[in-house]
Structure 1
Amino acid sequence: MAEELQATQYLTFVLDSEVFAVDVARVREILEYTAVTKVPKTRNYMHGVINLRGSVVPVVDMRVLFGLPETDTTVNTCIIVMEVTAEGSSLIMGALADSVREVMELDPGQIEPAPKVGSRVKTDFISGMGKQGNEFIMILDIDRMLPDEATSSLAEMGGMATSMGEAELMA
């Protein structure tokens, strides 16, 4: 008997005018934009760190990571806190997004394979293209979203920031 493929719920968010999605099971929470502490000598897409209930969480600027133009933060700017698996271990990271849209359910039949060319982002980050009405939604593979050196940078940022005084993190 063939096993039916289940629909998956995705959190959709906007960067520039493009719609992206991540598996909602990997999302811990969504935060209003808050002050981010910059960490020196990190990659340009590493926005900094935030203090989340006493834990240091690195924040990645998704626009910069994907080569989109930078923009100012607005009332809709938010930080999506996600669990990423890298090098066999789990990391918590924040992802800066222009705005969050909704949680939506997509059946496997609504998801096309990732394009091989012509995408605005590297296609190995995209696990598929969801289709809702006339709109495409880029479904991200968050475990492959960051360059290899970034996952070790995330862990280092958390360690470096932990040694900072709490007053500096709260600034």
Structure 2
Amino acid sequence: MSVAGITETTQYLTFELDKEIFALDVAKVREILDSPTVTKVPQTPEYMRGVINLRGSVVPVIDLRLKFGMAETEKTVNTCIIVVEIAVEGELIILGALADSVQEVIDLEPEQIEPAPRIGTKLNTDFILGMGKHNEQFIMILDIDKVFSAMELTVVAGDDKQRCSAQAA
């Protein structure tokens, strides 16, 4: 969905990464967890911090700061995991996104959202749905379905699918 596709007021969950404010459509957010114990998985990309047990399901945890080229998220009292649903090639994948802190849920009108800036041709900013303005502050609105490529998500979620298939056999 592009900014032009936003025609009504939408609720966004705002969160902080390295002192910058980001937002996700609340429809994509399943829940927010205090930072539980994350089990490391060998031979995974650097931005994959590991997996958590969410009521019996294995959920991969991604460090969004690392994915966006920032410093690794350090665990504090405010660090949390935002559990999101991502649609990839018609399939729903549950993923945990590590954030420095969750701020609030806000309503943004379509006129409060501007298109993402184009930063040359080599940088991919397709995952930025737009720039929202709230209380005189810019908020980067993420299209969480486009933050990771299908191949990256296959690497992250593929082991879980294989593990589930092996357990079922």
Please classify the TM superposition score into its range, dividing by the shorter chain length. Answer: 0.7 to 0.9
In structure 1, distance between residues paired with 2:64 and 2:44: 15
Alignment of 1:76-155 (within 5 A): 76-117=78-119, 122-155=124-157
| One-letter identity of the residue aligned with 1:132 | H
Q: Once the two structures are superposed, what CA deviation does each residue of 1:36-77 show, in whole Å capped at 9, x if it has no partner?
A: 011111100111100000001011000000001124200000
Report the Cα offset of residue 123 of structure 1: 1.4
Give the SS at the match of 1:153.
helix
Cα drift, residue 163 of structure 1: 8.6
Match of 1:27 in 2: 29
* Closer/same/farther in 2, CA of residues 163 and 96 from structure 1, 3 Å limit: farther
Q: Please report how far the alpha carbon of residue 87 of structure 1 lies from its aligned counterpart in structure 2 after TM superposition.
A: 1.5
The number of equivalent residue pairs is: 160
**Deviations, residues 2-37 of structure 1 (Å, cap 9, x unaligned):** xx9320000000000110000001100000001101
Question: Partner of 2:68 in structure 1?
Answer: 66
Q: Cα deviation per residue 1:123-163 (whole Å; 9 max; x = unaligned)? A: 11101000013210000001100133211012213236659
- CA pair 17-8 structure 1, distance change in 2 beyond 3 A: same
For structure 1, which segment, 125-134 or 6-15, has the greater mean C-alpha deviation from structure 2 after superposition?
125-134
Query: Where in structure 1 do 4 or more consecutive aligned residues deviate above 4 Å?
Result: 160-164
Q: Percent identity?
A: 58
- In structure 1, runs of 5+ residues without a counterpart are 165-171
Q: Alignment RMSD, CA only?
A: 2.1
Q: What is the TM-score normalised by the length of structure 1?
A: 0.87
Unmatched segments (≥5 aa) in structure 2: 1-5
- Quick check: 1:13–1:21 contact (8 Å CA) kept in 2? yes
Counterpart residue number, 1:43: 45
Change (3 A) 1:134 1:84: same
SS at match of 1:35: coil
**Cα drift, residue 94 of structure 1:** 0.4
